[in-house]
Structure 1
Amino acid sequence: MAKVQLLYGPMLIGVFLNMILYGILVVQMYEYYRTFKKDTAWLRYLILYLFIVETINTGFNMGMMYEPLILKFGTDEAIKNFPIMLIAEPLLIVCISTPIQVFIAWRLGKIIESWRIPSVIGLLALCSFCGGIWTAVEISIVRVFARKPELHTPALVWLVSAAAADILITASLTQSLYTRKTGYAKTDAVISRIIALTIQTGLITAIAALADVLFFLVLPKITINLICDFALTKLYVNSLMSTLNARVSWNNRLNETNVLFDEVSPSQPNPMSASGERFPAISLPVRRPRETSSMFDLEEQKSQPIGSLSNMEIGIAVTTTIERRTDSPQAF
């Protein structure tokens, strides 16, 4: 049997990471609900659901450590048996990861106007969900640390499927965004930032899931894999929230919503639309016109007043504005 330090030390570190990421999540949630008050109702409810499940997950993680380290401290049962609340961990993780992966797959389908890749992502997410439930059932049966290697098969189904879905999402979004570059520096700079954020947020969850599997297989007698496992739920939601909240900085640069979430949030006001008649807009044509989704179109647009841009279903628009002001004689 492994030493108690190798059983509960990694678990305690994982809980610390979980709680730190929960604090970051609270800030991101506050920023989201403060800024995007006009997002569609179903998206706001999805975000609320994720926050509630994350809060429950944090509470379970705290209780999971309280049981062996306080209630059963110094007993043989504490070092032989899994904490009772460990059963809930895979369940709560898939209740977080699956809705996020399905949501991103749906958005991806809207972008690329094809449902082949999103369907594969959805199947992988469903497979991961079933694997998480299977893992929870097996934990309730196995119950003791000495039999932890018996959890390998369900854990592999759960975590490898989740990692594959995350990698496919990242690769597909990156490819779609890269092909939408226009040749104009300002637009391409924003698209490059979106690509960078997509890679960072997508790969971080995939790497965490794969690291969880690797530690599980290589070090089956100890719990070092739970460091990644306990942090995984918070990584999923923080990644989603960072992308949603990043719309503010992208809006400030192009006065439009980002490529991935523009239909979802019409809430960001165009800072130059209050007096649209004063600001004539000159649209810059795109060099490589091609057919794309009407919702995420980066192609050539007809000139129109800047005040109407907030209603366009366009991913990114590049405009030039001119303002003239005449001082009245009374000012002197």
Structure 2
Amino acid sequence: MANVKLLFGPMLLGVFINMVLYGILIVQTYHYYLTFKKDAPWIRYLVLYLFIVESVNTGCDVAIMYQPLIENFGLPDATKNFPTLFAAEPITIVAISTPIQIFFAWRIKLLTKSNIIPLIVVALSIVSLCGGAWTTALIVKIKLFARKPELHWPALVWFLSACIADVLITVVLVTTLSKRKTGFVATDDAISKIIRMTVQTGMLTAFFAIGDVVFFMTLPHTALNFIWDLALTKLYSNCLLSTLNARASLQELTGHGLSARNAVSSDRNRRMENTIEGPAHILGSSMYELNTHKSFENSDMEYGVTITKIVETRQDPAPGLARGLSTQ
């Protein structure tokens, strides 16, 4: 007799978490389309694709629980076989995680100007995609809960590659962004916020993937790993949407700092121009600000942060004025 609590209890909790995160995803998607109307079309299509696949995933998860707990309630097959739509779970997870990981690989390429690490991330994401497809095919084949340990190898390929990709993305982004600090308070605050967000979102998906692997491998005859597994797709999508939507607050943060510096610089230049003429001495410094009106192809910083130059102009005193000052 199957232990129903250990089979369907974790799955039910996982579906509850999935649906809560789906509600958050709806809000984030609405906010994105309302706020960032000038993003590159392919990014807007990516968000739409993620929302459609997540909606399908949520419907499948509800059906996964409805079939054994309602439709087949009391029948032997309810606890003997995998629910019919259970096979859709692995393939929908990798259908979400793979394009998101490739997106971040592209961002790493823009930041590092290197192809090596992005290619590694893409390779890992493709391996994860293959592992998820392999797991789906095997679920369709074996059908029985009792044969769940046979899923170990494809699931291990799937989860480990995805986990390594998530950790690598997080480490590379944090390391690269840390080197971009300029010494300006507003800029460094924005970069620090991006770093915190990168760690929180990247490590969250990696943590759930690791939990899925550990519970799957150590407790093969239970469904405890599905507490992690069924929430994984929504974590990927919500993490991406949160990074895209955070650009608004980052723009405000860097914009205020830049405006204050420009005001001080303009006032200084006006005072100098009233009394001083002659050749200019240029002091260059770099500043990062958000650029939400340009497509990501023109961006050098993560999440649409680009490099601009703040130039401070100082002029030498005119010869006559210099002699007058020296005699005083």
SS at match of 1:296: coil
What is aligned with 2:300? 296
What is aligned with 1:16? 16
What is aligned with 2:217? 217
Cα 1:318–1:5 change in 2 (3 A) is farther
Contact conserved, 1:167 with 1:206, CA < 8 A, in 2?
yes
Deviation at 1:163, TM superposition (A): 0.4
Higher strand share: 2
- 2:102 counterpart of 1:102: yes
What is the percent sequence identity of the aligned residues? Answer: 51
SS at match of 1:314: strand
**Within 5 Å, which residues of 2 pair with 1:121-270?**
121-255=121-255
1:76-126 alpha-carbon deviations (Å, 9 max, x no partner): 100110001000000000000000000110111011100100000000000
What is aligned with 2:51? 51
Detail structure 1 runs of 4+ shifted over 4 Å in the superposition.
279-285, 315-320
What is aligned with 2:93? 93
Match of 2:306 among 310, 314, 320: 314
Cα 1:280–1:157 change in 2 (3 A) is same
Contact conserved, 2:2 with 2:80, CA < 8 A, in 1?
no
2-structure distance, mates of 1:317, 1:33? 30
2-structure distance, mates of 1:82, 1:317? 60
Relative to the length of structure 1, the TM-score reads 0.80
SS at match of 1:32: helix
Contact conserved, 2:110 with 2:301, CA < 8 A, in 1?
no
2-structure distance, mates of 1:295, 1:63? 42
Cα 1:186–1:140 change in 2 (3 A) is same
What is aligned with 1:80? 80
RMSD across aligned C-alpha pairs, in angstroms?
Answer: 2.9
What is aligned with 2:67? 67
Give the AA of the match of 1:155. Answer: A
2-structure distance, mates of 1:236, 1:242? 10
Give the AA of the match of 2:306. Answer: I
2-structure distance, mates of 1:284, 1:185? 18
Give the AA of the match of 1:296. Answer: D
1-structure distance, mates of 2:48, 2:166? 22
In the alignment, structure 2 segments of 5+ residues that lack a partner are: 270-281, 288-296, 313-328
2-structure distance, mates of 1:255, 1:46? 28
Contact conserved, 2:286 with 2:308, CA < 8 A, in 1?
no
Contact conserved, 1:294 with 1:313, CA < 8 A, in 2?
no
Give the AA of the match of 1:173. Answer: L
Give the AA of the match of 2:69. Answer: L
Cα 1:287–1:133 change in 2 (3 A) is closer
1-structure distance, mates of 2:69, 2:9? 11
